[in-house]
Amino acid sequence: MDYLFSPQAPIAVPVNGESLSFPVHRIYCVGRNYEDHAKEMGFTGREPPFFFLKPADTLVVVPKGQTGAMPYPSLTTNLHHEIELVVAIGKGGKNIQAADAAKHIFGYAVGLDMTRRDLQNDMKKQGRPWCIGKAFDHSAPIGPITPLAQAGDVNNAEIGLQVNGADRQRSNVAKLIWNVAETIEHLSAAWELQAGDLIYTGTPEGVAAVVQGDTLVGTVAGLDDLSVHIT
Ligand code: MN
């Protein structure tokens, strides 16, 4: 087919131990999925999971052992970090039961759900969509994907974030309110998942602002670190 102008190149994430990359379809994100983060945002209790999306081209793909660059975004004075476990879907489906979820997972990565918190809070107050606070350019840094079989026990892994070498976030994936399998069950009831989808599973407590010049290092035990410099 001939196009009016060149289509955008596919967005892809490198995979450990593979020469082939993971082509990204959609990015789903789970809101308030750790209790102590829900509390710091002014909410309590276990509510049904809720979701928002980021376009695939908001990814900042950081290859193994490298430090990525994220430009400080426009319109905000309160850019927050949210360290998250990211699930890479290898096989699509709808109405996937939690007990079957593992069959649909290709692997895992460390991601950052960067957030223009001031804009998100304005939108929340007005009952408007979060897009401007969440789905902005370069808002989704991600490290390499580790295939499921090599990822270890990710559901019980330490998760953390350091900024300029100091601890900001530290928790365990076991504290997810809705675990990975339950998240896939809920998500696939609302959308048909496709191979290439990424799911940012939510952040633990400790979210706070970063500024130009900061270096963020995100970790999930068993996966490659994610290092990002704010430029
Ligand atoms: Mn998040």
How far is 58 from 28, CA to CA, in rounded Å? 12
What's the gap in Å between 77 CA and the centre of ligand 1? 18
DSSP 8-state symbol, 66 = -
User: 1 is written with which tokens?
Assistant: 């087919």
Phi, psi (degrees; rounded to nearest 5) at 14: -65, 150
Q: What is the pLDDT of residue 47?
A: 84
pTM given for the model: 0.97
| pLDDT single digits (tens) 2-50 | 999 999 999 999 999 999 999 999 999 999 999 998 889 888 767 889 9
- Own/partner pairs, 163-170, CB within 8 angstroms, 24+ separation: 163/81, 163/208, 163/210, 163/214, 163/215, 163/216, 164/214, 164/215, 168/81, 168/206, 168/208, 169/81, 169/83, 169/203, 169/204, 169/205, 169/206, 169/207, 170/204, 170/206
| pLDDT single digits (tens) 108-134 | 999 999 999 999 999 999 999 999 999
Q: Are 183 and 85 in contact (CB under 8 A)?
A: no
Annotated domain spans of the chain: 12-230
What's the gap in Å between 52 CA and the centre of ligand 1? 9
What's the gap in Å between 210 CA and the centre of ligand 1? 15
Q: Which fold has domain 12-230?
A: Fumarylacetoacetate hydrolase; domain 2 (3.90.850)
